[in-house]
């Protein structure tokens, strides 16, 4: 069965010619929206095409062919493009509304499995989604034909996406509730703890002061600043563990002996996803946020990124 459906999709590649380019151009030139319609199994494919177009930069919606004949035709204007899906190309519900679509001056793209069908003949552009056989053992149930139609619809949506220069950030704006939206639209400044909530000690402070600051701050670290308020280092729980392994005497040791100098940092305008990538690559749990002047702007931890659902 899978081989039959795979062959049906593979056969489409040889048919993506001039008419496919015309369909793309027709939609790009349209000042209106794309209305996708169909009935039965083709209707399900049509609904998915409308959703894919809408989320990739082409305003579109689905109109049920039967409902269109009972008032929903009022949603369609002469500025729109209608895409009608029907494997037979002769569905009564679709053929009933085609004259009204044409009368409005609306352009019509048909996707059928029968190039000589009534719907194909009436269309301004016809895309051939014909298959040699269905995957069903009876060769009756829409299986390979719906798979081919779905693949052809996806190809159309992706071609439009590329033609519009639709990028990751555009996609994220259409999916603000998804993980991609969170990753691409969330900046470091949105998730960081601001400087007044970050534990800080002066470069010449006693080691025990840094320990107390780190404990009170609850970030597993404290930032070390120089006399001119620039970042000079960081003291983390990892630095503390390494100092303990070396058997350091906390009563006599200086803070300068245990801190990490020239710590890794990131700017507040960077994407939170960049901070997550940096922390994962460097295997660190805390990251200082520094402004263009090298002054502490804030800090974040992997826990902050997890809370924001960036990771």
- Output the 3-class SS for 48-87: HHHHHHHHCCCCEEEEEHHHHCCCHHHHCCCCCEEEEEEC
Longest Cα separation, the chain: 93
Q: What is the pTM of this model?
A: 0.63
pLDDT number for residue 172: 60
DSSP 270-292: SBHHHHHHHHHHHT-SEEEEE-T
Looking at CATH, the fold of the domain delimited by 2-166 is given as Rossmann fold (3.40.50)
Give the residue carrying structure tokens 């795979």.
Answer: 6
Domain boundaries, the chain: 2-166, 188-307
218: left (phi over 0), alpha (psi -120 to 50) or beta: left
- Confirm whether 2-166 and 188-307 share one CATH topology: no
Q: pLDDT 10s per residue in the chain (311 long)? A: 788 888 888 888 888 889 999 999 999 999 999 999 999 999 999 999 999 999 888 999 999 988 887 878 888 999 999 999 999 999 999 999 999 998 999 999 999 999 999 999 999 999 999 988 888 777 668 888 999 999 999 999 999 998 988 766 666 666 555 555 556 678 999 999 999 999 999 988 888 888 899 999 999 999 999 888 789 899 999 988 988 888 887 777 788 888 999 999 999 999 888 999 999 999 999 999 999 888 999 999 999 998 888 87
pLDDT number for residue 20: 95
Identify which of 209, 204, 262 has the alpha carbon closest to the alpha carbon of residue 231: 262
CB 175 within 8 A of CB 181: yes
Residue 132 structure tokens: 């040699």
Residues 256-273 pLDDT 10s: 888 999 999 999 999 888
pLDDT number for residue 165: 85
CATH number for region 188-307: 3.10.580.10
């Amino acid at each position: 069965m899978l081989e039959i459906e795979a062959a049906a999709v593979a056969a489409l590649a040889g048919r993506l010619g001039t008419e496919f380019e015309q369909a793309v151009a027709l939609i790009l030139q349209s000042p209106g929206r794309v209305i996708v319609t169909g009935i039965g199994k083709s209707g399900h494919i049509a609904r998915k095409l409308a959703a894919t177009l809408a989320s990739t930069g082409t305003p579109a919606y689905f109109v049920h062919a039967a409902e269109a004949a009972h008032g929903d035709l009022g949603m369609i204007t002469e500025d729109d493009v209608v895409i009608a899906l029907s494997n037979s190309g002769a569905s009564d519900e679709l053929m009933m509304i085609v004259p009204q679509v044409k009368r409005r001056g609306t352009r019509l793209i048909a996707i059928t499995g029968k190039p000589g069908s009534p719907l194909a003949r009436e269309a301004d552009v016809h895309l051939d989604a014909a298959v040699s056989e269905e995957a069903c053992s009876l060769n009756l149930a829409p299986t390979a034909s719906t798979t081919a139609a779905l693949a052809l619809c996806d190809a159309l949506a992706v071609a439009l996406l590329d033609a519009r220069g639709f990028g990751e950030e555009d996609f994220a704006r259409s999916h603000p509730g998804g993980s991609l939206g969170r990753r691409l639209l969330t900046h470091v400044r949105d998730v960081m703890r601001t400087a007044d909530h970050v534990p800080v000690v002066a470069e010449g402070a006693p080691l025990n002061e840094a320990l107390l600051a780190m404990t009170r701050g609850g970030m597993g670290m404290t930032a070390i600043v120089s006399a001119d308020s620039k970042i000079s280092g960081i003291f983390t729980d990892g630095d503390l563990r390494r100092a303990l392994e070396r058997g350091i005497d906390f009563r006599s040791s200086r803070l300068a002996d245990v801190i990490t100098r020239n710590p890794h940092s990131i700017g507040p305008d960077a994407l939170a996803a960049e901070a997550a990538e940096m922390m994962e690559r460097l295997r660190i749990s805390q990251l200082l946020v520094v402004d263009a002047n090298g002054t502490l702007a804030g800090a974040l931890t992997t826990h902050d990124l997890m809370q924001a659902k960036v990771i």
